[in-house]
Chain A
Amino acid sequence: MSTYQLASWTLDEVAAHCRRFGLALTQPQLQRMHELSGTVSATGLEIARMPSKEHEPALTFAMPSIR
């Protein structure tokens, strides 16, 4: 889990984020995206972090070979 707190997105920030990418959503869809932003941020922060910088970063997943 991440050790820091992330401030929640405001609806205005979500709208600005969409505008940056030219993403056009209806107002109800924007509201829904705002709701989802909380779930997404919380889920991301709950993923365990590397215990140290020396730990392998696992940038991509590869199937381990058969032992």
Chain B
Amino acid sequence: MSANELFFLSAGEASRLIQARKLSPVELTEAFLARIAAIDDKTHSYLTVMADAALDAARRAEKDILAGRWKGPLHGLPYAVKDNYYTRGVRTCAASRLLLDHVPSYNAAAIDKLEAAGAVLLGKLNTWEYGTGNGGVYFDLPFEPARNPWNLDRFTGGSSTGSGASVAAGTAMMALGSDTGGSVRLPAAACGLQGIKPTYGRVSRHGILPNCYTLDVPGPLTWTVEDSALLLRAIAGHDPRDPGSARVEVPDFLEGLEAGVAGLTIGVVRDLGEANDLLDDSNRAALESMVDVLRSEGAHVVEVTLPAPVAEYRRTSSVINWSESLSIHEKDFLERNQEMGQALREKMMSGFMTRAVDYVAAQRRRRELAQGLDALVRSVDALVLPGAFHVAPPLDDPEKVKAFTTDTATPPFNLSGHPGMSVCTGFDDGGLPTNAQVVGRWFDERTVLRVARAYERATDWRSRRPKL
């Protein structure tokens, strides 16, 4: 198998080969490290490459597997994490000047779980500063912004910029990001990946730098739906160290993945209120095509509408986001704001001007909005609707970059806590990925993955890769 074939294997494919002892974890890790060395100066997906540690972990995995101590499907598979996940002994700076010397003494819970599963950590991925901002990219951080592997002049989507770029470019087999208003789903959309924001509380945030505590959710960005299921299964579970962690059972997300959508009722949301005109023609056409595919696969498709306009979820989310984010960064904002990039500083300014009574009103309205969405999701098996309204914009066009971040239907499900997945729905005339979103009931990621997989299986979008 050539190196090219190795770094474009899906995690599921590689896992089966490793289990059958037809693929060496060391060879696989070396292929990814070589790929990073060859092209990451174009995509800037990594802030830190952990080559020696990765090779050591791969050698341990190989030894264990050859000795009959196979730990499970992630054993020996390379992955990478957004640089807001703590890594013991390895700098975690979230692309911020404020944290350039920050070396944690412990791992994020998700990393400990993946280490126990035998996965191989390749390094720390690029991100917006602290995984947040005002939606813009200003080229004023200590690191180059990540670039989209489908077109290096284009934006990756944020805030998990490196997580999107690395999996699309083949510099990571799987990646973890974090999602406060779309930061897993938007890079997945821009980079042609499958990215799931699980239910709020499904995955522990212990050891992840917070952005907005009542909205943050960690999640996987992967090439295939199966890979998302594999990664989610490994990182999910209750953790008393995270006050938002839910004490619920973790199902096997692979079970029923291939069951298809025959007999399921899918609610399609076409009416987004005042946001309707913002949806790209290519994304609109791709959504319709997705609905046709699901119908032809046996789903019962019904038209539904969100209980409130997308703009209201966004407003409510913004007030919560500004306030909680400032509460985290208040000291740095007051004392070191000139070391912040413009995007983070402007978000802090918004928090600084937000009134407490508006924050409380937003939390109260949030509960009503969440209950309304829950009633809608419970009336069907899953929703299908737009995610990011645009394809990846030019990175040097601040207005279009901001529009990519704000013209979306992703925040409603951070506000409500429901699981949502961005699914690649094809490519526009310029070869840039289009996307749609699949949303399910609280803690029913299995149905979300099942619907996404049924669509993925019925289309051939996974056969196309960026040419770098």
- Interface residue ranges, A against B (CB under 8 Å): 2, 9, 14, 17, 21-26, 29, 32-33, 36-37, 39-41, 43-50, 55-61, 63-64, 66
How far, in whole Å, are A50 and B363 apart by their CA atoms in the complex?
11
A-B contact pairs, 22 of them (CB 8 A): A2-B361, A9-B353, A17-B352, A17-B353, A22-B334, A24-B337, A24-B338, A25-B337, A33-B349, A33-B352, A36-B349, A36-B350, A40-B354, A48-B365, A57-B360, A57-B364, A58-B363, A58-B365, A60-B214, A61-B366, A64-B370, A66-B442
A47 touches B361 (CB 8 A): yes
Q: Which of A22, A40, A47, A56 contacts B322 (CB 8 A)?
A: A40
A47 touches B365 (CB 8 A): yes
Query: Which of A9, A55, A58 is the most central at the interface, judged by chain B CB atoms within 10 Å of its CB?
Result: A58
- Given contact pairs A25-B337, A47-B365, A66-B443, A33 touches B358 in the complex (Cβ within 8 A): no
Besides A44-B355, A46-B315, A56-B367, 6 more A-B contacts (Cβ < 8 Å) are A2-B361, A14-B353, A43-B318, A49-B361, A60-B214, A61-B363
Which residues of A are found within 8 Å of B333, using beta-carbon distances? 23
Which residues of A are found within 8 Å of B358, using beta-carbon distances? 43-45, 47
B361 touches A50 (CB 8 A): yes
How far, in whole Å, are A24 and B333 apart by their CA atoms in the complex?
9
A58 touches B366 (CB 8 A): yes
How far, in whole Å, are A63 and B374 apart by their CA atoms in the complex?
12
- Give the top 6 A-B pairs by smallest Cβ distance, nearest first: A44-B358, A58-B364, A40-B353, A47-B361, A33-B349, A58-B367
How far, in whole Å, are A49 and B368 apart by their CA atoms in the complex?
12
How far, in whole Å, are A65 and B201 apart by their CA atoms in the complex?
11
Nearest-neighbour CB distance to chain B for A27, whole angstroms, equals 13
- Which residues of B, 421-468, contact A by the 8 Å Cβ criterion? 442-443
- Interface residue ranges, B against A (CB under 8 Å): 199-201, 214, 244, 246, 248, 315-316, 318-319, 322, 333-334, 337-338, 345-346, 349-350, 352-355, 357-358, 360-368, 370-371, 374, 417, 442-443
How far, in whole Å, are A57 and B345 apart by their CA atoms in the complex?
30
A37 touches B214 (CB 8 A): no
Which residues of B are found within 8 Å of A40, using beta-carbon distances? 322, 350, 353-354
Which residues of A are found within 8 Å of B338, using beta-carbon distances? 24, 26
Which residues of B are found within 8 Å of A50, using beta-carbon distances? 361, 364
- Given contact pairs A23-B352, A58-B363, A47 touches B315 in the complex (Cβ within 8 A): yes
How far, in whole Å, are A32 and B338 apart by their CA atoms in the complex?
14
